[in-house]
Structure 1
Amino acid sequence: MKQYDKLLILPAIIIIIAGIFSGFSNQSYDQIAEDLLRERTEILQNAYYGKIDRNKAEAALSKIETYPLLSEDVGNLKDYDASQLDIVKSMDFIIVNQETKMFDYISFHTKIRWYMSGLSSDYVSENEYSVILKSTSEGYKLSEFNPKQEY
C-alpha cells in the first residue's frame, strides 16, 4: 500500500505546482484593461504636449486600440488645443468589474480617480466609464471608452 502512496504523491505535487504557476502566466482581463487605459492616457498626454509627434502617437495608439476608439482618438489628435487641456498626473482604478464576455468582446464597468493639474490648481476627479476590449490576433485592444451616463 505504501508503494502506491509514493506513486500518487509525485503526480499530485506536479499538478499543484502547475496550477500555481499557470496563474502567474496569464494576466487577468481587469489588469489588461487597466494597463491599456494607462498606456492610452500616457500616449495622448505625450502627443497633446508635444513630447511625441502625431504620427508616432497614431502608430502607438494603433497597437493598443481598435475601432471605433482608434478613429475617435486620431480625430482628437488632429483637432486638439493643448492650452485647454489639464495634465493627468496619475490615475487610480477604484472599480474594474467585468460585466460581459461575448464573442471577441469583453465589457467592463470602471471607476477611475484622476489626479489632475489645471491652470489654477491641482484637483482630483472621479468618473465612471464603460470600457470594451476586443480580442484581436495581436491580443486585446481597447475598442470603446465612454463615460457612464447618469440618469
Structure 2
Amino acid sequence: MKKYYKLFFFPAIIIIIAGIFSGFSKQSCDQVVESLLEERTSILQKAYYGKIDEETAEKSLAKIETYPLLSEDIQGLRNSDPTQLDIVKSMELRNVTQSMKMFDYISYQLEIRWYMSGLSADYVCDNEYSVVVKSTNSGYKLSEFNPI
C-alpha cells in the first residue's frame, strides 16, 4: 500500500492547486459587469462635458458595448444637451443577481447607488436596472441597460 500513496497524493495536490489558482485567472461576471458600467459612465461623462470628442467616445463605447445599447448611446451623445445633466461622482453596484443565461447573453438585475453632483448640491439616488451582457471572443460587452 505504501507504493501507491503517490498515485493518490500527487493528483490530489494538482487538483487543489488548480482549483485555488483558477479563481485568480478570470474575473467573475459580477466584477465584469461592474467594470463595464463604470467605464461606460466615465466615457459618457467625458464626452458630455467636452473632455473627449464625439468620435473618440464612439470608438471607446464600441469596445465595451454592442447593439442595441451602442446605437442608443451614440444617438444620445449626438442629441444631448450637457447643461441639463448632473455629474456622476461615483457609483456603487448593489444587489447584483444573475437572472438568466441564454446562448451568449447573461441577464442581470441590479441596483446602482449613484453619487451625483447637481447645480445646487450633491445627492445620492438608488435605481434598479436590468442589464444584459454579451459574451464575445474578446470578453464581455454591454448589450442592454434599462431602468426597471
What band does the TM-score fall into relative to the shorter chain?
over 0.9
For this pair of structures, how many residues does the alignment match? 148
Q: Give the 3-state SS of the residue equivalent to 2:142 in structure 1.
A: strand
Deviation, 1:45, is 0.4
1:94 and 1:137 mapped to 2: Cα distance? 28
Normalization by structure 1: what TM-score? 0.95
Q: Give the 3-state SS of the residue equivalent to 1:56 in structure 2.
A: helix
- 2:89 aligned with 1:89: yes
1:104 and 1:10 mapped to 2: Cα distance? 37
Cα deviations by residue, 1:53-109 (Å, 9 ceiling, x for unpaired): 000000000000001100000001001111111000000111111100001110000
Runs of 5+ unmatched residues, structure 1: none
Is the alpha carbon distance of 1:138 and 1:6 closer, same or farther for their aligned partners in structure 2, counting shifts above 3 Å? Answer: closer
Cα-Cα RMSD:
0.9
After the TM superposition, which parts of structure 1 deviate over 4 Å for at least 4 consecutive aligned residues?
Answer: none
Partner of 1:136: 136
Runs of 5+ unmatched residues, structure 2: none
Q: Give the 3-state SS of the residue equivalent to 1:27 in structure 2.
A: coil
Q: Give the 3-state SS of the residue equivalent to 2:15 in structure 1.
A: helix
Moved more, 4-13 or 81-90: 4-13
Normalization by structure 2: what TM-score? 0.97
